[in-house]
Amino acid sequence: MRENTVKIGLMGLGTVGTGVVRIVQGHQEDLQKQTGLAIEIAKVLVKNAEKERNISLDDDILTTDPADLVENPDIDVIVEVIGGINPTKQYMLQALENGKHIVTANKDLMALHGAEILSKAQEKGCDVFYEASVGGGIPILRALVEGFSSDRITKMMGIVNGTTNYIMTKMSKEGADYAEVLKEAQELGYAESDPTADVEGHDAARKMAILGTLGFHVDMNLDDVDCEGISRVSAEDIAHAKQLGYEIKLLGIAQRDGELIDVSVQPTLVARSHPLASVNGVFNAVYVHGEAVGETMFYGPGAGELPTATAVVSDLVTVVKNKKLGVNGRGSVAPYKEKHLKTDDQIVSKYFLRLIVDDKRGVLAQITRILADHDVSLEQVLQQPYNDGKQSEIILVTHQASRKNIFDVRKLFEEIDSVYEVKSLYRVEGGEE
């Protein structure tokens, strides 16, 4: 660190990188007042130096050579907003090896290789902060690590992917077409470079792995997160959910009962009375329940240039403050609890089932018998004509049932002749237990 200036190596000048430059330039005076130092973006790594940019930077700042940042003795902090695992992970490890602090928005990297990166950082006395990796502009990681440090978290439920929430909201409120809204979300800079990560729930699963690790103090792997995306949620599902008083959201759920935990991502019916049901568009929210504090909820923009960049630059401010205090690399607490994952018979929830059945006598009785045999009782039942009255559509909301039992029920429904098709099976959250 030069006397009065901290020099930053910015990796990536796309949606988030551009926002970082705008905030560092536009808020320079405030940043300097808070840290006592000037923050200068010294080098910016991009893939294509010829690309037209909608931000102005000095000509000698852009580079396509990562060594100009990671091997540059003038650079104190690397801000990584390239994304992906390769070559980014190598750049991070090399930067840490050279004693540089890191701020990143990369949930892929932190969910898959966070332990390795954090342990390297500890070895080298460096900070690694990744607030923007979950919830965009919502300071949720800081809330978990600092705000809830005195409590024991029992449940986190999150709408943690802006792209899918934008799609689901437009489908639900405007009857919009899935493919068109996805394209819009891409144009707005919300989606990942491969939007499959958004729609198949992988992005949300990575974020839930990070929340699970920090909230429950266990080493959550991505493989521990059961994951299903929104691609098979139909307009009919959304309409039926509404009819019953629910919105469908791609929901991350992390739950702890005693020492047992489970973390999952799936389309979920959320009761309209629950605050998560009214989180719309690109907004994200994380509901956190603590043994002592009870219910809390954190809400804000989950993606986009400036919201995400605020989280990145706030991490940068923390690195600079730590540097002034000489405490870099001392703040992080490694997971200290053993991980005990629930099995399917221990994961309990309410469920929504939609079946297409033959419209003949005895079918409903057969269905309810199968449910009763598996200890599944019903909260709501709706039956209506389907396919011009040639078949019936049966919509069920169950009381609490184990995941094992409900999956066994679905398998039996798929096998019996009178059930033509099991159209949908979703978890249900909120409302009466």
Whole-number minimum distance, CB 50 to ligand NDP, in Å?
Answer: 9
Stretch that binds ligand HSE, among 71-79, 185-193, 223-231, 419-427 (CB under 6 A): 185-193
- Residues 6 or more apart whose Cβ sits within 8 Å of residue 7: 1, 40, 42, 74, 75, 76, 77
Catalytic residue, candidates 43, 89, 170, 207 = 207
Residues 202 to 221 in contact with ligand HSE, rule: CB under 6 A: 203
- Number of alpha helices (DSSP H) and beta strands (DSSP E) in the chain: 14, 18
Whole-number minimum distance, CB 12 to ligand HSE, in Å?
Answer: 13
Whole-number minimum distance, CB 163 to ligand HSE, in Å?
Answer: 3
Whole-number minimum distance, CB 267 to ligand HSE, in Å?
Answer: 15
On the CB side of 235, CA atoms within 13 Å amount to 9
What is the phi/psi pair of residue 395, to 5°?
-115, 125
Burial class (CB in 10 A: 0-12, 13-18, 19+), 365: exposed
Distance CA 228, CA 39 (A): 42
Q: Which of 161, 266, 268, 310 binds ligand HSE (CB under 6 A)?
A: 161
* Chain residues that interact with ligand NDP, rule: CB under 6 A: 12-17, 45-48, 51, 81-83, 87, 105-106, 132, 136, 189-190, 192-193, 303-304, 308
The amino acid at residue 414 is E
Whole-number minimum distance, CB 20 to ligand NDP, in Å?
Answer: 9
Q: How many residues bind ligand HSE (CB under 6 A)?
A: 11
Which C-beta is closer to ligand HSE: that of 35 or that of 164?
A: 164
Burial class (CB in 10 A: 0-12, 13-18, 19+), 264: buried
- Residues 6 or more apart whose Cβ sits within 8 Å of residue 109: 84, 85, 88, 89, 92, 117
Which C-beta is closer to ligand HSE: that of 94 or that of 169?
A: 169
**Residues annotated as binding site for L-homoserine?**
192
Task: List the single partner that 15 binds among ligand HSE, ligand NDP, none, CB under 5 to 8 Å by kind.
Answer: ligand NDP
Of 227, 258, 225, 277, residue with least CA distance to 154: 258
**Residues annotated as binding site for NADP(+)?**
11-18
Which C-beta is closer to ligand HSE: that of 303 or that of 401?
A: 303
Residues 295 to 314 in contact with ligand HSE, rule: CB under 6 A: 302-303
3-state class (DSSP) for residue 224: helix
Distance CA 105, CA 92 (A): 12
Active-site annotation holds for 207: yes
Residues 86 to 145 in contact with ligand HSE, rule: CB under 6 A: 136
What stretch of H or E contains 166? helix 162-174
Catalytic residues: 207
Site residues (vs ligand HSE, CB under 6 A): 136, 161-163, 190-192, 198, 203, 302-303
